[in-house]
Structure 1
Amino acid sequence: MTNIKTITLGRRGFLLGAASTLCAPAIVRAQGAKAAKVSVGRQPYAAGNSPVTQYMMNEKLFEKAASELGYDLTVDWRDYPSALPMVEAFVSGNLDIGMWGNTPIVRLLSQNQGIHVLTVGEGHLRMVLCTRPDSPIRNMEDLKGKTVGALVGGDPYNALSQMLLHELGNADPRAFDIKVVNTPTQAQAASLPSGMDAAIAIYPAFLKANAEIGTKGIVNSFGYTEAGYKGPAGEGAGILLPGVKKSPFFPDGYYLHRSFWICSERILSADAAIGQAFLVALQRAVVALGKMKPGDISEMVSKYWGLSPELGSKIVEDEVLFQRGWIWPTEGDAAAITQISNFMVEGRLIPKPLTFDQVKSAFSKAAPILQKAYEATGKLPAESDFTAKGAKDLRGLPAWQMNSWKAPA
């Protein structure tokens, strides 16, 4: 990983006067601070991680939290357009902390790559099955025999497969003579270039295309219809389709989207205080943003999302971090990785599903600093909220109580 060089500043070799002695504790802290550098990758064109990290950067929350733990920290923030180049940088040792979704995490664990999950980076990102404004495609049944764009090997493709499974009965597009073409960028998917009849795009890209070229939404990954829907369930947006209730991820939807912060071994061992500081800074950012209006949060990252505050607020309101008000990974988040590995086997993306022990091992090393960060930020939420019935997202006991986690059925 990127080298984190630690330097201990020496004491002064002379006596201080009486007045200076009164200030000695502060001076010793300053002199004893460890100078360190850390690289952090983010995806500002995605969802909740964008405003959260932007706020951290603007307010230097990471640096401040590190200072409280004895570090003089320099943060190298890096923007990535998608997960793949970030994963490549991390695996090659050129990135200390990064964030990506379920699919690359499952792939890396399947390959026995030694990755460590820090915490939830964003989640509950809406993915929209969309088409052109004049398209005859109005529901899932209409996809049969058509060409659909999706990020193959990524969350959008997995969401599409689960929508097909629970509404048409089979997760394999080929069962319905559906040809899937890879769309490496979300802007490309939402723009529906020539040769594609429909596509599945993440919500920020869909909203932008909808506003600019009239791209029409049909169904979303939460299980609700969009404005362009017409079919057995009725017509128009906001209808909960019956198939989504059969999903193991309900009430999150057909598919449980989570992206996680991943870190190197060093961040959890020699420089574990940096990992703790990162978690503290993340939680403080989420709490601070939770007090702001969604439109104002969106405006912070308008250069990335390209949306008006009114449209951007829709992404903010969907974000699981803002719905929860906290960042801590739970049993439900971990179980979802296991479940998703089963679907990836069906799609022949990995040879065999992950065991729950494999998934737990990815969370285990960060558990102690997660608990410290939770306690340092005021123990929010109350412990009972982790297992609250009626929550709108899948959750459960936090990672530091993983000894009580149960493997998904």
Structure 2
Amino acid sequence: MTLLKTFLRRGTVALSAALLCAPAMAQKKVDVRLGWQPLSGGSAAIAMYMIREKMFEKQAAKLGYTITPEWKTFAAGPPSNEAMISGQLDIDMHLSALPTVARIATGVPVVPIAIVGSNIANALMVAPKSPINDVSMLPGKTIGLPLGTSAHYVLASIVQTHFSKSIDEMGIKLVNMPVPEAIKMPSGIDVAVVWVPVRFIGPQLGISELLVDANGNTGKGHKSPGTRLPEVKKSWAYPEGYNTDRLYAFAREKFLADHPDVVLAFIRAHMEATAAAVKDKAGVVALANATWKQPEVIAETTLQTYAETSGVRTTPAVLEWDVMTLIKASEYLTFMKVRDKPLTWDGLKPILTKSAAVQKRAWESSDPKVAVGDMRKGFRGETKLYGSIVINGGAPVWEWNDTPDWGKRIYVSGPFKF
């Protein structure tokens, strides 16, 4: 009996040791190639935090994966698109609505997995003491901006909302130029359209002032600074602004199918980094400015502008209005004759719902968990340096299959005819 007890005891100890070692033995090794844009405002700061603290690696380890991430930087959406098309990336982020539409419409095998940036807040700028101090004065003027970008899109949206006519119909001449050049208000242009953080650099250097931004907020370049223009209420995107724009994160379709837990780890890591960035404001300003190299107030204002780093939007889940953003951007591109036809809810459904289960798992494990009811209401907040932020929300993508009119119920027609 004593020998039997000894044998059983040793067997139990050996089994326990084996069970304890099992997770380590079961760790799967995966190389992950990721793309991101260091100049994408507050969203970039979140990525910087996630990379520095190795949050992706730590979240993956909790799910049984040892990952080796290779982070690749891009200056804008088009080169990131090219890298994804050529199979050089598994996950990427910081693509705004226009390049996202191009990516989906051309059939690139990718799936949106999260929203990583909201309240993009592009802006129309004028020279200090410019006689152009109201939107009503834009007809016939010359405007400098990078053609075919989100800056172009917001200008078209403002013009269409105020005049019910296109840029061409209003006699507005466009000059193609990069944002860093446009903000200097060079000879030959009356107005510049730029994005964050460049819009904050102009006033800091005394070379330009805000006329109006994507949300209808005016600055010192407007005759009524510090107000929100009433015309924005006519926009399909109200109460958010003249239009809506987002920064999207993607996973290659095959990578998502092969490694759903790694994609889950990425979303969880981004959520963790977002919460940390909101909490450690001074730390994230210093971290971001090591790359941006701007006056501290510029970095602080940038972080207070984005809904994620300001703590206004607290979930990366893809919601109805995030998909509406793509529908409306595609309508604009169709109006511009860049695309043959716009995207549709029915066409997007089989693409976006591929990541629904992973997004829901990320939400279920989040703490604190944002109630679906709150997602539907959208997000509102106030920051000292930017002001009021409103982000349109909606039901999450994982409710799409159980909601026949998901997305379609919020659709508003216009303003671009095609």
Q: TM-score, normalised by structure 2?
A: 0.87
Q: Where do residues 186-225 of structure 1 align in structure 2 (5 Å cutoff)? A: 186-225=179-218
8 Å contact from structure 2 (residues 378, 392) kept in 1: no
- Comparing 296-305 with 101-110, which one deviates more in the overlay? 296-305
Among 233, 243, 258, the alignment partner of 1:270 is 258
Cα offset for 1:134? 4.6
Q: Where has structure 1 moved over 4 Å in runs of 4 or more? A: 16-23
SS of 1:320's equivalent? coil
1:297 aligned to 284, 301, 318, which one? 284
Alignment of 1:356 with 2:345, yes or no, is yes
Matching of residues 9-88 of structure 1 within 5 Å: 22-88=16-82
- Pick closer, same or farther for the CA change 1:346–1:324 going to 2, 3 Å: same
Whole-Å Cα distance in 2 between the matches of residues 113 and 390 of structure 1? 31
Aligned-residue RMSD, C-alpha: 2.1
Judging changes above 3 Å, is the alpha-carbon distance between structure 1 residues 242 and 73 closer, same or farther for their aligned structure 2 residues? Answer: same
1:242 matched to which residue of 2? 230
Residue by residue, what CA displacement relative to the aligned partner does 1:356-386 show, whole Å, maximum 9, x if unpaired? 1122233111111111111122362122211
1:332 and 1:357 map into 2 onto residues whose CA distance is 15
Q: How much does 1:112 deviate?
A: 3.4
Give the aligned partner of residue 161 of structure 1: 156
Q: Please tell me whether the aligned partners of residues 42 and 49 of structure 1 are also in contact (alpha carbons under 8 angstroms).
A: no
Identify the residue that residue 399 of structure 1 maps to in structure 2. 397
Identity of aligned residues (%): 27
Unmatched tracts of structure 2, length 5 or more: 1-9, 381-389, 413-418
CA distance in 1, matches of 2:301, 2:365: 31
Q: Indicate conservation of the 8 Å contact 2:113/2:249, yes or no.
A: yes
Asked if the contact 1:109–1:358 (Cα under 8 Å) also holds between the matched residues in 2, the reply is no
CA separation in 2, counterparts of 1:360 and 1:193?
45
CA distance in 2, matches of 1:310, 1:195: 30
Secondary structure of the structure 2 residue equivalent to 1:48: helix
Deviation at 1:135, TM superposition (A): 3.1
Aligned length: 386
- 1:27 deviation in Å? 2.6
Q: Aligned in 2, Cα 1:197/1:334: closer, same or farther, shift over 3 Å? A: same
SS of 1:118's equivalent in the other structure is strand
1:224 and 1:241 in contact (8 A); partners too: yes
Deviates more, 1:319-328 or 1:88-97: 319-328
What SS does structure 1 have at the residue aligned with 2:124? strand
| Displacement after TM superposition at 1:18 (Å) | 8.5
Match of 1:86, SS state, is: helix
Q: TM-score under structure 1 normalisation?
A: 0.88
| CA–CA separation in structure 2 for the residues paired with 1:359 and 1:379 | 30
CA distance in structure 2 between the partners assigned to 1:63 and 1:277 by the alignment: 8
Q: Deviations over 1:134-183 (max 9, x none)?
A: 5322222322222212222221111110011112322x211121111223
> In structure 2, the residue corresponding to 1:290 is in which secondary structure?
helix
- Mapped to 2, the partners of 1:27 and 1:198 lie a distance apart of 65
Equivalent residue of 1:40, what SS? Answer: strand
Shift of 1:22: 4.9
Say which is worse superposed, 204-213 or 250-259, in terms of deviation: 204-213
Contact 2:183-2:207 at 8 Å conserved across structures: no
**Rounded Cα–Cα distance in structure 2 between residues aligned with 1:42 and 1:245:** 34
Shift in CA distance, 186/298, structure 1 to aligned 2, threshold 3 Å: farther
Gaps of 5+ in 1: 1-15
| Matched position secondary structure for 1:311 | helix
* Equivalent pair of 1:148/1:179 in contact (CA under 8 Å): yes
